[in-house]
Structure 1
Amino acid sequence: MARFVRWTALTAAAALLVTGCSGGSSDSGEADGKPNGSGSPATSADAATPLPSSLTSQKLDWERCRATGDSPAPGDEWQCATLKTPLDWAEPEGRTIDLALIRAKATGDDRIGSLLFNFGGPGGSGVSTLPWFATSASELGERYDLVSWDPRGVGASEGVRCRSDKEIEASESVDITPDTPAEETAYFRDAAAFGQGCQKSAGNLMAHVSTTDTARDMDLMRQVLGDRKTHYFGVSYGTELGGVYAHLFPKNVGRLILDAVADPSADSEGHAENQARGFQRALDNYLESTGQDAEAGTRKIVDLLKRIDANPMPTSSDRKLTETLALIGLIRPLYSEASWPTLTSALAAAEQGDGSGLLSLADDYNDRDASGNYATGTHSQRVISCLDDKQRPTVEEMKKLLPRFEKVSPVFGPMLGWDTAGWCHDWPVAGQYDTPEVSAPGAAPILLVGNTGDPATPYEGTRRMADELGKGVGVMITWKGEGHSAYGKGSDCVDSTVNAYLLQGTVPKDGKVCS
């Protein structure tokens, strides 16, 4: 279960169109034992190495997408295929893995090329999400083939399952803000067990699912799709992926949109603190929208969480609302202003001793269905981010952070503070970097969209990304809105600016503000 917060996908907890791709299973296999990593992230010079024609000349066998499980296939306009890519980019002529792709071909005559989408996570399924998102991108679909994929380690592309559904549900009893030595021991034991389960599932793949690996996959995708330049729409974590791609392949950058921008200058501790600030800011905005004083409303929620921590709350089912689930339930509706009334109802019920509303929100966020089955996006998320993140704070270092985190957010700070040490605790594979390299001198202008009320990727990170991309590359626009991301959220100003950039190549003035 998601007992932590990273860069959650654009569609966190939304009802998605789940699709399946045709194509065989990967020939990468699984191996017991500790995976062997490929070392430090690649540089731009490394990325210029020519690839074997066995990769670049492969032909994609596009077929109508199949239904998956109980979910119907998307409409006839959607096609699926399988791309072969190296397991280890240090050995491009070695063993390959399969990536699941989905596309809808451009509907108009004046086609520009392919537009790749990554919706965040890390661990979000582009194959499942793109048909749902495409309703917000109908204009783009006239001139672009809309294309997305399940990145390596995700969904139909060698997706990782680290725990069974029963094990996930059992972990709901683990206190994510331990108050006693026994709870602390259980917390870190659970974290270590999660990593062991991932290693058993992923085998050698566990050392080859980094953001750098996926950025290389993107450039292979560009070549196989027949595009001279990469046109790309990245949301949330997808903005980090876009920045890494631009650094590795600056000459191949076409029109790149980065929406809900992650701060590339922050290490894992910095991201946790940024999110504590972002979610508290969103919670304050929510409380004030209901006529409450933000500080007083926050104290009331903290008191509620303490009561739930001491005595898990009954619900309409046979499950109890734990503090862990209550926190996740609070986070879920902050991703969208449209969900704020649901949060109001859930909090009112919880104050009366009924945790059903918050439990439902937590289940929604955790992708748990009515039968108790969980999706595995959070498993992939952890495997990818722990390979990326080099930083491994000790318990002692984490405890020194807690007072600062609690000051930033009395509600979310403790959870995110403990997460700095628990997320990758005793992880089987070393991380690659403290912060991603996104400098992209010589790249075409990249459009960044920052939302002042974004809880998961706070607004301040947008300017930092623009600065790190480099002068004349990062171009920033601001939306004074709420929720996670900006495009397709009701701002004609944002949507028209993004569409003009992608469709006509019109670069707005840096600093443009949309209210």
Structure 2
Amino acid sequence: MGAAPAARADPVDTSDLPESLTGQSLDWSRCPAPDPAQGDDQMSPAPLPDGTGWECATMEAPLDYRDPEGETLGIALIRSRAKERGDGRIGSLIFNFGGPGGSGVITLPAFGQDYGELHRRYDLVSFDPRGVGDSEGVSCLDSEGLDRFFAADPVPDGARERSRLTDRLRRFADGCEDASGDLLPHLTTTATARDLDLLRRVLGDDRLHYFGISYGTELGAVYAHLFPRRVGRAVFDAVVDPTGTTEQGALAQAKGFQLALGSYLDHCGEREDCPLGGDRDEAEDRLEQLLHRLDSRPMRTQDPDGRRLTESLAWGGIAQSLYSEDFWPYLTQGLGDALDEDRPDGTVLLALGDAMNGRNPDGTYSTLQSSLTAIGCADSSERYSERDVRDVLGEFEDASAVFGPPMAWSLLGCTHWPVDGARAHPKVGAEGARTILLIGTTGDPATPFEGTEHMQEALGGPGTAVRITFEGEGHGAYTSGNDCVRDKTNAYLLNGDIPDDGTTCD
């Protein structure tokens, strides 16, 4: 494996930025309908249950923090003002929902009802990070090109298919460079963390109160490293492991999704109508056989554009369904339709795969997956070869016959990237920061629980961060419906009550 040269360190503190940036006044106004680049919700955000509406604005940030007087880019923002004013209001609570590549402008109002208690004393705020959605979102291929890209075989079976995979990844990278070449070097998590600090200052907060989910925990940790004395009350839910290589992270995810798949199969097997049957090993074998058939014979669907369900799209739909137990009934329906002996139909699995890939109902795409690649490749200096993948493929297959092979080959995602990555690991040591709350879920497929322990150690140990363990399923604990997690998190954010390290919620 080769490593690209590390990017030059960024020396500029946001307190040194020009007054035109630090003193900018945001023009908050009624939010328009979301842009397709942000996602598939084409309606203006609905008010919160307490009747409070949403406002949107754009903040200007330096394209390159090493050149603060130079070109700027607009960061799309959304907020809902706190119900309490005066002494009852704590400040702004800024959310990042992960990806990297998720639009906070569309996600926060979609889940706003889950944060109603926090809304009493916080302005709820989120944003589209640089390179995402309406913040100069990266779009590497047109819609038809993305349809072909996501439908293509994710696991090459021989030299010819490996060549096709390489060509496909190269075309995707070339498309990103053609569309956003000047932007790509500036999409690091470090730059976005500096955007967070500029936003904190523009909003008038002395400290950053923050709620990060999934990749948002890495962003929050990088912020805490850069600005430890400016950390306020910060929650990291579904914690990313900041210590491993890209290969180690992909292998951990393969194991995590396999663990979640086993939980789903056990749940499904208890139902008389489970399309995979009641025996767990036989059920997984039937699932593997379905994917194998789709590799050579894509399945018809009711898609208005005539698309068929391929192995790649079905795999994405299965993975999407394991992010939350709420999706399990849809996965059961989709598998039942696909396994129907008389009239197999891939419509539901296709819809789930589209959700994973950010495809909108009108056939356009959000920037989700393009942004995810662009940010990940800007961050990571690791570049893998086909030989690297073949060397570890057996280990990935042992971890999961379903998820291991595609996750192994996904290591090539940055191989042809036109921009060098910043470093092998994010810097997250945060000595001097106020206590950060970490929440890990034992059955989390995407950010396996072990990452919570590694993040705590990397931040500085129990003196810097405390852990809550949620013994449950899904990606993210606060919105799981578990009262214990919600109550302890709210007590921390609203009252500053720090739970005991190692607290368990079940």
TM-score (norm 2): 0.91
Partner Cα separation in structure 2 for residue 347 and residue 464 of structure 1: 36
Deviation string, structure 1 residues 402-449 (Cα, Å, up to 9, x no partner): 00000001100000000112x112110011111111110011000000
1:468 has 2:458 as partner: yes
Letter in 2 for 1:510: D
The aligned residue for residue 184 of structure 2 is 206
- Aligned runs of 1:215-254 on 2, under 5 Å? 215-254=193-232
Change (3 A) 1:98 1:266: same
Three-state SS of the structure 2 residue aligned to 1:137 is helix
Q: Which sections of structure 1, spanning at least 5 residues, go unmatched?
A: 1-36
Is the 1:257–1:447 contact (alpha carbons within 8 Å) kept by the matching residues of 2? Answer: yes
Moved more, 318-327 or 390-399: 318-327
Q: Deviations over 1:72-130 (max 9, x none)?
A: 32246211111111110111122111111111111113001111000001111111111
Q: Name the residue aligned to 1:445.
A: 435
User: In the alignment, residue 66 of structure 1 is paired with which amino acid?
Assistant: P
Following superposition, the deviation at residue 216 of structure 1 comes to 0.5
Please give the residue correspondences for 1:4-153 in structure 2 after superposition, counting only pairs within 5 Å: 39-42=7-10, 47=13, 50-68=16-34, 71-74=42-45, 75=47, 77-109=53-85, 110-153=88-131
Match of 1:181 in 2: 159
Instruction: Indicate conservation of the 8 Å contact 2:10/2:66, yes or no.
Output: no
In the aligned structure 2, how far is the partner of 1:325 from the partner of 1:354?
Answer: 13
> Per-residue CA shift, 1:309-342, capped at 9, x if unaligned?
1222222343221111110111111011021122
In 1: Cα distance, 2:361 partner to 2:82 partner: 37
| Residues 151-202 of structure 1: per-residue CA shift (max 9 Å, x gap) | 1111111111111111111224421101122211111111011111111111
1:41 shift after superposition? 4.7
Q: 1:133 and 1:41, CA in 2 relative to 1: closer, same or farther beyond 3 A?
A: farther
Q: 1:425 aligns with which of 410, 415, 434?
A: 415
Residue 357 (str. 1) matches residue 348 (str. 2): yes
The 8 Å contact of residues 40 and 433 in structure 1, kept in 2 or not, is answered as no
Q: Give 2:307's aligned residue.
A: 319
CA contact (8 A) 2:314 2:349 kept: yes
Could you tell me which residue of structure 1 aligns to residue 484 of structure 2?
Answer: 493
Distance change (3 Å), C-alpha of 1:369 and 1:156: closer
* Equivalent in 244, 265, 288 of residue 302 of structure 1: 288
2:412 is equivalent to residue 416 of structure 1: no
Deviation readout 1:290-318 (Å, 9 max, x if unpaired): 23443332222112211111222222343
Q: Could you say which residue in structure 2 is the equivalent of 1:504?
A: 495
Q: Residue 414 of structure 2 aligns to which amino acid in structure 1?
A: C
Which amino acid letter does the alignment assign opposite residue 457 of structure 2? D
Q: Give the Cα separation in 2 of the matches to 1:495 and 1:476.
A: 14
Q: Contact 2:14–2:198 at 8 Å: present in 1 too? A: no
**Corresponding residue for 2:272?**
none
Q: Contact conserved, 1:152 with 1:209, CA < 8 A, in 2?
A: yes
Aligned length: 476
Q: Decide whether the 8 Å contact of 1:172 with 1:322 is kept in 2.
A: no
Shift of 1:68: 3.7
For residues 56 and 299 of structure 2, what CA distance do their matches in structure 1 show?
45
Residues 321-360 of structure 1 aligned to structure 2 (within 5 Å): 321-352=309-340, 353-360=344-351
C-alpha distance in 1 between matches for 2:14 and 2:62:
16
Q: Residues of 2 paired with 1:303 and 1:487: CA distance?
A: 36
In structure 1, distance between residues paired with 2:6 and 2:61:
15
* Letter of the 2:314 counterpart: A
For the 8 Å contact 2:10–2:65, the answer to whether it is kept is: no
Is the contact between residue 138 and residue 371 of structure 2 (CA under 8 Å) also seen in structure 1?
Answer: yes
Quote the residue 1:27 is aligned against: none
Q: What letter is aligned with 1:459?
A: F
- Whether the aligned pair in 2 keeps the contact of 1:126 and 1:149 (CA below 8 Å) is yes
Distance across 1 between alignment mates of 2:447 and 2:187: 22
Decide whether the 8 Å contact of 1:153 with 1:159 is kept in 2: yes
Letter in 2 for 1:84: E
Cα deviations by residue, 1:240-294 (Å, 9 ceiling, x for unpaired): 0000000000000000000000101112111111110110000001111123443
Whole-Å Cα distance in 1 between the matches of residues 26 and 347 of structure 2? 47
**3-state SS of paired residue (2:424):** coil
Identity %: 49
C-alpha RMSD over aligned residues: 1.7
Deviation for aligned residue 1:65 = 1.2
Tell me, in whole angstroms, the C-alpha distance in 2 between the residues paired with 1:42 and 1:481.
40
Q: Name the stretch that deviates more: 48-57 or 440-449.
A: 48-57
Counterpart Cα distance in 2 of 1:365 and 1:394: 26
Aligned-partner residue type, residue 85 of structure 1 = A
User: Given that residues 115 and 147 in structure 1 are in contact (C-alpha distance below 8 angstroms), is that contact kept between their aligned partners in structure 2?
Assistant: yes
The 3 A distance-change label for structure 1 pair 457 and 255 is same
One-letter amino acid of the structure 1 residue matched with residue 120 of structure 2: E
Distance of 2:338 and 2:196 partners within structure 1: 45
Q: Is the 8 A contact 1:266 1:435 kept in 2?
A: yes
Aligned to 1:436: 426
**How far apart in 2 are the matches of 1:128 and 1:492?**
26
- Which amino acid is the alignment partner of residue 108 of structure 2? L
Structure-2 residue corresponding to 1:259: 237
Return the letter of the residue paired with 2:333: S
Q: 1:41/1:256 Cα in 2 relative to 1: closer, same or farther (>3 Å)?
A: farther
Question: What is the CA distance between 1:366 and its match in structure 2?
Answer: 2.1
Alignment of 1:153-164 (within 5 A): 153-164=131-142
